[in-house]
Amino acid sequence: MSSRQKEFKKLYKKLKKRYPDDPVVLSRDRKLLEHLVFAVFLENAKREAACAAFAAMERYYIDWNEIRVSTANEIADVVDTIPDASQAGERLRRLLQWIFDATYKFDLEELRAQGKTAVLEFLKTVPFSTPFMNDYAALFGCGEGTLPLSEGALRALRLLDFIVVSADGREIAPELDGAFEGDEALDFFFALHELGVEMLDDELRPDAIKFLRSIDAAVDERSWKPFVEPTGPTDPREIARLVAKQEKRQKRASTPLIDEIDMLDDAIEADDLDGDDLLTKDADDGYGKAFGADETNVDDDSAFGMMKKRARKNLGRDKGVGEETAAARNGGLYSDFYSTGERDLFAFEDAADFETEKRVGAKSKKKRRVDEEADASEENWTDEAPKTRKKARGGEEDSDSDEKSEKKDAKKSAKKSAKKETKSADESGEEADAEFGRKPKSRAKGKTNKNEGPDDGAAT
């Protein structure tokens, strides 16, 4: 046993005197998801408060789905025995939502059957699960794993100089897991956790530091603050906003890099499509991401290679084509391929099916273009003059419309000239009458007065 492990043993004896009660927690017979939820309540709370919160949740809610659709405040009203109940409620409902979206159920027993490694790999993908929750679920759900350390427990161990920063930037307690075995390890964990909760409470912290000072007099020379600042948000609401942004970015269509395609072409031309290392190459990974295919969608290496061959063939990157011609053609093909949304080439059985579908799409596109041109010409007709609109119909209609328009113009000009002549005649008659003192002639169509003879004016 190393000197560091002996120091942990000494700390354990002191902790058992301060917290003599044996821990009462969830039985290992409970399901893995239940251990994970209990860790949500336990992380920043005393053991008794966490147990009371979990029991209240079981009494109030019917199932996990009811908790998932509840609000954080509604959950906080039920589990009000723990500190930061609202934050714990938000984390719990987000956790259940994430698990449901990933598995379409509230059951992690299949992961549990695969062992601790599978459980930890899955929980690390859940953004709303903390390292404390992951370690607790693995330890109590699978019966093996490292001792969970909350932020309060880390504060106590920092003051005792048990914490170091690992090469990957994490705070760890070296040799802690090897210092205890069996039930002794669980007793040490819960006793240290109780001390950690006091370190998180502003009122109880001075008393907890006084206890640590009795173990190591150099406690006052050290700081309980984190050695490494967290790189991401810890509040579940902030995490949810970050996750939403990432999902939105991933949904955006991205054009594959030409460099990635060229790298893959080199591999294809060299017939390097088989082998265990096929799916680990940068070119394959980049190609898979670019065209929507990855390792999870492929049964074996050969299927993945055939997918790449089809994609390259349909994008026009065939052998024996000049670089300039191929580059010009590929540029247009890439543009058409991604602008029309034809990304499902892997859904076809072979390249021939894809080409057939592509030709059908091209025909429909051509028909659409003809319809659009017809609609545009219809709109132009409404803006044109009647004469121009009739001319556009062509053939015999044009000649008929010209004759009709000429007749109309002739009639209009005749009417205008007749009006002008009548007007001038009337004006000349009025002038003559005014000059010789005669009564003016009637203006109605140039007729003379019936009471006057044709020579009366001259005799007068």
303 or 273, which is more confident? 303
Does the pLDDT at position 316 exceed 70? no
What number of other Cβ atoms are within 10 A of residue 320's Cβ?
A: 5
Summarised one tens digit per residue, pLDDT across range 347-383 is 444 455 556 666 666 666 666 777 777 766 665 555 5
Tokens of 191: 């006793």
Note whether 32 and 204 are within 8 A (CB): no
pLDDT at 252: 66
Q: By C-alpha distance, which of 6, 49, 55 is closest to 30?
A: 55
Summarised one tens digit per residue, pLDDT across range 158-206 is 999 999 998 888 899 999 988 998 889 999 999 999 999 999 999 999 9
pLDDT at 267: 57
Q: How far apart are CA 178 and CA 185, in angstroms?
A: 9
End-to-end Cα distance, the chain? 159
pTM over 0.85: no
Does the pLDDT at position 312 exceed 90? no
- Output DSSP code: residue 19: S
pLDDT at 402: 61
DSSP result, 369-436:
HHHHHHHHHHHHHHHS-HHHHHHTT-THHHHHHHHHHHHHHHHHHHHHHHHHHHHHHHHHHHHHHHHH
Note whether 146 and 177 are within 8 A (CB): yes
pLDDT at 11: 94
Helix (H, G, I), strand (E, B) or coil at 45: coil
Burial (CB count <10 Å: 0-12, 13-18, 19+), residue 96: buried
Summarised one tens digit per residue, pLDDT across range 11-35 is 999 999 999 888 778 777 889 999 9
Summarised one tens digit per residue, pLDDT across range 417-458 is 766 666 665 555 555 444 444 444 444 444 444 444 444 444
pLDDT at 264: 57
pLDDT over 90 for what percent of the chain? 40
Q: How far apart are CA 113 and CA 325, in angstroms?
A: 57
Q: How far apart are CA 210 and CA 251, in angstroms?
A: 54
Q: What's the rounded mean pLDDT across residues 282-298?
A: 45
Q: What's the rounded mean pLDDT across residues 129-151?
A: 92
Q: How many CA atoms lie within 13 A of 152 on its CB side?
A: 23
Q: Which residue has the tokens 């964990």?
A: 189
* Topology adopted by domain 3-236: Endonuclease III; domain 1 (1.10.340)
Q: How far apart are CA 170 and CA 230, in angstroms?
A: 10
438 or 251, which is more confident? 251
Q: By C-alpha distance, which of 140, 164, 184 is closest to 32?
A: 140
Note whether 228 and 171 are within 8 A (CB): yes
pLDDT at 427: 56
Give helix 205-215 / helix 3-18 axis angle, nearest 10°. 130
Does the pLDDT at position 290 exceed 80? no
Q: By C-alpha distance, which of 300, 297, 305, 302 is closest to 344?
A: 297
Q: Which of these ranges, 75-84, 94-103, 230-239, has the smallest mean pLDDT?
A: 230-239
The dihedral through the CA atoms of 16, 202, 154, 136 has a sign that is positive
Note whether 92 and 102 are within 8 A (CB): no
Q: What's the rounded mean pLDDT across residues 398-425?
A: 66
328 or 235, which is more confident? 235
Binned at pLDDT 50, 70 and 90, residue 246 comes out as confident
- Output DSSP code: residue 310: H
Does the pLDDT at position 107 exceed 70? yes
Summarised one tens digit per residue, pLDDT across range 113-133 is 998 899 999 999 999 999 999
pLDDT at 261: 54
Q: How far apart are CA 9 and CA 225, in angstroms?
A: 24
What mean pLDDT, rounded, does the chain reach? Answer: 74
